[in-house]
Amino acid sequence: MQKNPVELILKKRNGEILTQSDIEWFFSLYHQGNLPEYQMSAMLMAMYFNPLNAEELAALCHTMIYSGEVVDLRTISKPKIDKHSTGGIGDKTSLILAPIVASLGIAVPMISGRGLGHTGGTLDKLESIPGFNVNLSLNEFKGQLQTVGCGLIGQTKEIAPLDKSLYALRDVTATVESIPLIAASIMSKKIASGLDGLVLDVKTGSGAFMKDLHQARSLAKTLISIAKSYEKSCSVFITDMNEPLGYAVGNWLEVQECIACLQGKPVPDLMEVSLTLSGAMVQLSGKCETLEEGVALSREQIKNGEAWEKFLEIVQSQGGDTAMLQSPQNYPQSKHRLDIPASETGFIQTIDAQTVGFCAMQLGAGRQTIQDKIDPKAGIVFHKKCGDEVVKGEKILTVHTGKSDVVEQVTKRMESALVISPKKVEAVSKIIEKIPMNNEK
């Protein structure tokens, strides 16, 4: 019997189970350009309200992986280990850990995404570097891994192309925060990239898609189950995203912070997460036996300058302007820069990460529609973080934007996102828990 898109949307909307054949047909139809976006949007919303079960998720993941080519990296003798984060505010760890791990002789085939919802995207950060090309062909990607040891790209037309189009559509149809859809998106492009092992950073808190720990654990288990089904080693960490990670939020502003970190500047929360994840990647590669050893090796690559040199090599090999990285003060500045002062004396208790993310989007650092262009200079730089003491009138943060009409509204929203307490608040570890790797007891 001939399938009908409306009947399948209705079936899922009513909470019925789609067959593997239903899912493969519907999503392949969209991928081939024979299904309008409004019908795919309706299906995504039906799946958001009636989450996919294990069999439906397996079918969707399989369809997304094989919508393109599964990369064969067997000619690269190095272990091939990647990392993925579920997205957060100021989450720039990829730009720090990729060169660390690559400098240790491990191949990092990193296929990343753009900003999604209120969170920033690795590709948008990389593209703020003048000339940096994230659109390498599959052959160029393989060559990059062979010669440099790291490729930082988006989905090519060959790698999980269905995910690429769904990713953009979910971003503007309020269907991002779905555990099965997030899991299928992450794992399809990771498995298709030909990696040996994967370290996953599942964010939880106000600035994450998984607002509570229960949701984060559920997503982590879903990701692990998919990895196991494709015989991929993985290690999962749940990390805190109740305040922005690091001091900078916004694409070039975050690149600047990464430059400083790779050159040894202490940014405690950002480096705690970056070194933990890079240490896990090193452990997963077999270069060391324990996470602690992996972290120590990673820290040494910062200290001896090899990670910074590797970052410059990666950027240069992908067409980026390394002179701008070495002299970031020469980068163009936003037309409007406004300092926001502390409203009272005390200690910063909370900085609501989700509000910060939406404010950064308003300033031009993210997209509100698929057609929106990102301003790489836009964003927010914090001068104080949770636990820090502030004096009334002292500047807490600076907003950067080219849009004069949003400054007043963003200022008010940012003031409401900050809570100052008379009592000292202790900073907490960003690593909430580690879920053991497949081969761990």
Average pLDDT over the chain, rounded to whole? 92
Per the listing, tokens 């090796």 go with 297
Pick the more confident residue, 336 or 368.
Answer: 336
- DSSP reduced 3-state for 425: coil
| CATH number among 2.102.10.10, 3.30.70.890, 3.90.1170.30, 3.30.70.1290, domain 334-421 | 3.90.1170.30
In the sheet with 197-204, reading across from the earlier edge strand, the strands are 81-85, 197-204, 233-240, 431-435
User: Given a cut of 90, is residue 437 above it in pLDDT?
Assistant: no
Q: Where are the alpha helices (DSSP H) in 332-392?
A: 353-360
User: Given a cut of 90, is residue 336 above it in pLDDT?
Assistant: yes
Q: Which pLDDT score, from 0 to 100, does residue 272 have? A: 97
Mean pLDDT over 59-67 rounds to: 96
- Cite the active site residues: 84, 163, 170, 185, 189
Pick the more confident residue, 57 or 426.
Answer: 57
Q: Which pLDDT score, from 0 to 100, does residue 370 have? A: 62
Pick the more confident residue, 132 or 155.
Answer: 132
Lowest pLDDT segment from 14-18, 261-265, 422-426, 435-439: 435-439
Judge if 5-50 and 334-421 fold alike in CATH terms: no
The number of beta carbons lying within 10 Å of the beta carbon of residue 98 is 27
- Given this structure, which CATH class describes domain 5-50? mainly alpha
Lowest pLDDT segment from 10-14, 205-209, 233-237, 359-363: 205-209
Q: How far apart are CA 392 and CA 421, in angstroms?
A: 12
Band (pLDDT 50/70/90 cuts) for residue 321 is very high
Band (pLDDT 50/70/90 cuts) for residue 425 is confident
Pick the more confident residue, 181 or 373.
Answer: 181
Q: How far apart are CA 261 and CA 255, in angstroms?
A: 10
Q: Which pLDDT score, from 0 to 100, does residue 441 have? A: 40
- What are the boundaries of each domain within the chain? 5-50, 81-327+431-435, 334-421
Q: Which pLDDT score, from 0 to 100, does residue 439 have? A: 46
Lowest pLDDT segment from 153-167, 220-234, 284-298, 386-400: 153-167
pLDDT > 70: what percent of the chain? Answer: 96
Band (pLDDT 50/70/90 cuts) for residue 22 is very high
Lowest pLDDT segment from 44-58, 261-275, 332-346, 367-381: 367-381
The fold adopted by the segment(s) 81-327+431-435 is Pyrimidine Nucleoside Phosphorylase; Chain A, domain 2 (3.40.1030)
Q: Which pLDDT score, from 0 to 100, does residue 236 have? A: 95
pTM attached to this predicted model: 0.89
User: Given a cut of 70, is residue 392 above it in pLDDT?
Assistant: yes
CA distances to 42, 125, 201, 344 from 133, in Å: 34, 12, 25, 45
